[in-house]
Amino acid sequence: MTESGTGRMLLSHNFDMPEDVFPALSREDLTLVFFEGLSQYPEIKCRQLNHAHWMVEVLFPADFSPPKVGEFCAEALVNKRMSQGKADDSFPDILILAGFKKTPPLSDDPEALQTGEWGVDVVETQSAESFLMAIGWEDKTAGKSIEDVFKVERRKG
């Protein structure tokens, strides 16, 4: 949580899909996905970032848990992809992989992830299982609590 009692998540995008199946989303498109998809929650604010890694900032009040905001983000992306008309086997598995930053920031850039904030990788992949295995998710998160790390999965089928 930031000092004002507002949580902050910074979202990056990991697009692990053939582009002939679904187009990759630009920084602007990704921001719009979350801006529109989270608009039903007026307390949650989104804005585009101009950072090499982080693309979207999501600010949320303390009465929304980070995993709940992660679920909202997953649903926003699912809805966007469904609106593109391919709800078949080519539809991506969507992962929201989040970690709470406890170490000192790597940069004093206000658009960089700071201590006490959530870094979130928004993943679109053909196989969530293969992706998670490839990055060693289970090993990286073993022994960590929901206060440190969480995962939201939306798998096709």
Q: Does residue 18 lie within any of the structural domains?
A: yes
Per-residue model confidence (pLDDT) at position 87: 65
Per-residue model confidence (pLDDT) at position 115: 93
Q: Which domain holds residue 49?
A: 6-154
Per-residue model confidence (pLDDT) at position 4: 64
Q: Does residue 1 lie within any of the structural domains?
A: no
For the record, the structure tokens of 154 come out as: 């939306």
Classify burial at 113, counting beta carbons within 10 Å of its beta carbon; exposed 0-12, middle 13-18, buried 19 or more.
buried
Cβ-defined contacts of 40-46 (< 8 Å, 24+): 41/72, 44/69, 44/72
For 13-40, give one letter per residue: b (16+ CB within 10 A) or e: bebbbeeeebeebeeeebbbbbbebbee
Q: Whose CA is closest to 27, among 59, 52, 44?
A: 52
For the record, the structure tokens of 123 come out as: 């993943």
Provide the pairing of β-strand 6-16 with 118-125.
Answer: parallel
Per-residue model confidence (pLDDT) at position 1: 45
Q: Does residue 38 lie within any of the structural domains?
A: yes
Q: How many domains does the chain have?
A: 1
Cα gap 91→82, rounded to integer Å: 8
Average pLDDT, the chain: 90
pTM listed for this prediction = 0.92
Per-residue model confidence (pLDDT) at position 157: 61
Q: Does residue 103 lie within any of the structural domains?
A: yes
Q: Does residue 113 lie within any of the structural domains?
A: yes
Q: Does residue 48 lie within any of the structural domains?
A: yes
Q: Does residue 44 lie within any of the structural domains?
A: yes
CB 113 within 8 Å of CB 12: no
Q: What is the pLDDT of residues 1-46, one digit of tens each?
A: 444 678 999 999 999 888 777 788 999 999 999 999 999 999 999 9
Q: What is the pLDDT along the chain (157 residues), one digit of tens a residue?
A: 444 678 999 999 999 888 777 788 999 999 999 999 999 999 999 999 999 999 999 999 999 999 999 999 999 999 998 888 766 677 899 999 999 999 998 888 889 999 999 999 999 999 999 999 999 999 999 988 888 999 999 987 6
Chain centroid offset of residue 67 CA = 10
3-class DSSP state for residue 73? Answer: helix
